[in-house]
């Protein structure tokens, strides 16, 4: 059983807590605000054109694909654990480093995927679902880095 001494923060955890507080206090960048104004009409248009049931089905498929692609073996190997749940008891710094590796891989994969499909307007047809699936893979895989599998009652996220 853990004692109160087991719950003291490491220097790394303390620094991360301060960085989170600073991040929460920051105002959004002007570029982010402008991008939101540009994307909002496109999102509205998609909602009007694509039926909700079809959109939900596409998101469920992308999430399922991303979860399937989020292999655990490399996370367990690199984390030095025999099960994903063991990472919950490891250092936050280890999990952050694992997550950074996943993040960097995802950026590289998105660049390659976007380059392969983005040179042609028809490339958007496979580009968008592939990018959304990659995003879900990244979300699922980063959860694994901290010792958590995606579990929810919502079939959208199964």
Under 8 Å between Cβ of 81 and 117: no
Under 8 Å between Cβ of 158 and 60: yes
Cα-trace Rg, the chain = 19
Average pLDDT on 9-38 reads 87
pLDDT tens-digit map of 46-101: 888 888 888 888 888 998 899 999 989 999 999 999 999 999 999 999 999 999 99
pTM of the model: 0.76
Average pLDDT on 143-158 reads 77
Nearest-10 crossing angle of helices 92-117, 124-145: 170
pLDDT tens-digit map of 24-47: 998 877 777 787 788 888 888 888
Return the closest-CA partner of residue 141 out of 110, 95, 108.
95
Domain positions in the chain are 11-49, 52-158
Using CA atoms, how far residue 125 sits from 7, 39, 154, in Å, is 49, 18, 27
- The whole-number pLDDT of residue 27 equals 81
Under 8 Å between Cβ of 61 and 125: no
- The whole-number pLDDT of residue 152 equals 66
Residue 158 DSSP code: -
């Amino acid at each position: 059983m853990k004692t109160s001494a087991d719950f003291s923060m490491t220097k790394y955890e303390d620094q991360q807590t301060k960085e989170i507080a600073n991040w929460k206090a920051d105002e959004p960048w002007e570029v982010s605000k402008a991008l939101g104004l540009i994307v909002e009409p496109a999102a509205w248009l998609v909602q009007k054109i694509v039926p909700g049931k079809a959109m939900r089905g596409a998101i469920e498929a992308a999430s399922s694909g991303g979860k399937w692609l989020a292999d655990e073996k490399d996370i367990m190997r690199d984390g030095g654990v025999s099960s994903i749940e063991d990472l919950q008891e490891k250092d936050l710094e280890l999990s952050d480093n694992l997550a950074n590796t996943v993040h960097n891989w995802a950026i590289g994969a998105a660049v390659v995927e976007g380059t392969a499909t983005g040179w042609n307007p028809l490339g958007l047809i496979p580009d968008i679902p592939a990018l959304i699936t990659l995003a879900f893979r990244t979300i699922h895989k980063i959860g694994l880095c901290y010792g958590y599998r995606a579990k929810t009652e919502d079939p959208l996220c199964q």
